[in-house]
Amino acid sequence: MSAGYRIENPATGTVEETFDFIADDQLEQTLDTAAKAQAQWAAKPIEDRASVVSKVAALFDERKDELAKIIAQEMGKRVSEGVGEAEYCGEIFQYYADNGPKFAAPQPLEADNGKAMLERRPVGVLLGIMPWNFPYYQVARFAAPNLMLGNAILLKHAEICPKSALAIQQIMDDAGVPAGVYTNVFASHEQVEDIIADNRIQGVSLTGSERAGAAVSAIAGKNLKKAVLELGGSDPYVILDTDDVKAAAKDAWETRMYNTGQACDSNKRLIVMEDIYDEFVAALIEQAQQMKPGPVDSDDPTVYQPLSSKSAAENLAAQIDQVRDAGGTVQIGGSMTGDGAYFEPTVLTDIPRGSDVYYEEFFGPVAVVYAVSSDEEALEVANDSQFGLGGTVFATDVERAKKVGQGFEVGMAKVNSYSAEGAQLPFGGVKHSGYGRELGPIGMDEFVNKRLYFVAD
């Protein structure tokens, strides 16, 4: 049984506030209001919608400090990282406000005996199911392009993020998004199934776990609804060579520790050439030894924050036990600390390929390292995963790195950079990492009716 929507301090495990699930009759009214509001919203010129979306962007930036404090309280994010997340949301909403009319413009097609156009039209009301690890950013990726298109949104947020969900709703209201066009709903899992099945809903977008994605896609498929899924990841981070092993290890470690390791596209598997492997692992252990638990308002990179919840920390501890049972080595860390959701930064090696835990995602401050002896083996290990979100490769010879990067079985391949993100760049994966794309021009091409409009001569 779900504990329901709540603010549960991850540093202490204390439930500080609870929120009721939406009543069934209220949900019925919400769906009806959304359907009517969507028709009116879609009838507005896209330039008018852009004006409202631009105000949403401005409010995310204006309220970034307040927004950051909310998610620090709810899921333990470092305050400075929360500020950056809110700023990025502003960039995403503004990107679609600026470019949406161009992306949605009719496209002339060649045709005999008439004029043909490919139109991009809204499909209706959509359900968004969003996770706790980036409470604002995940919503922005989904909401910004669809509001521009003229779709309406029901947003079911993670049950530990009620306050940030309400803060987003307030931004939408204050920006002038009409009532019913964006509606936060504190829905139960049972109600989510009913929402997807409802004829007033035309699609569902989920960012979350494999398990949640499988459940949602099954319900969507049964009801002939389009789904976009952004699920887990176990991204390879390949280092073929480096002029400075310690610096490379420091970059890899700091990348892995961002958001306390709770990012779908984090560098969860570090694949290192055997000639630098021992020095690299030693440097990672040295980085981990410097880490200490601390408050969310610390900007010290050696201070780590709690995980999102005590249950998340307990699940990670259980995975570390699986690593030991499989014959892997815990070089440092691997345990919960204190009464809340703090988890020691961890370095793992020697996890046997083929073991069950080898194929699992570690969603927390855990770096797993593998030694390889050739570029071919590096690529083989990189692709030996059920996930396919992102992948990164580093080498002093860019052509060598590009060759490995071209072989990644992922949705986002990066060469000599641990980050390649921006509102203009698409995000998404393959295999068990889901399907569909968000952001960039193609972010407006998911929940859209690509209608042929033909007028005979």
Q: Which CATH class is domain 5-231+432-456?
A: alpha beta
Give 456's contacts (C-beta < 8 A, 6+ positions apart): 113, 114
Query: Mean pLDDT across the chain, nearest whole number?
Result: 97
Query: In the predicted model, what is the mean pLDDT of residues 155-176?
Result: 98
Point out the residues that are catalytic.
230, 264
Check for a shared fold between 5-231+432-456 and 236-421.
no
Query: In the predicted model, what is the mean pLDDT of residues 355-361?
Result: 97
Domain ranges of the chain: 5-231+432-456, 236-421
Please state whether the predicted TM-score (pTM) of the whole model is above 0.95.
Answer: yes
pLDDT tens sequence across 131-141: 999 999 999 99
Q: Is the pLDDT of residue 2 over 90?
A: no
Percentage of the residues of the chain whose pLDDT score is greater than 90:
97
pLDDT tens sequence across 67-98: 999 999 999 999 999 999 999 999 999 999 99
Query: In the predicted model, what is the mean pLDDT of residues 220-232?
Result: 97
Domain made up of 236-421: CATH architecture: 3-Layer(aba) Sandwich (3.40)
pLDDT tens sequence across 385-411: 999 999 999 999 999 999 999 999 999
Please state which of the ranges 2-16, 348-362, 366-380 shows the lowest mean pLDDT.
Answer: 2-16
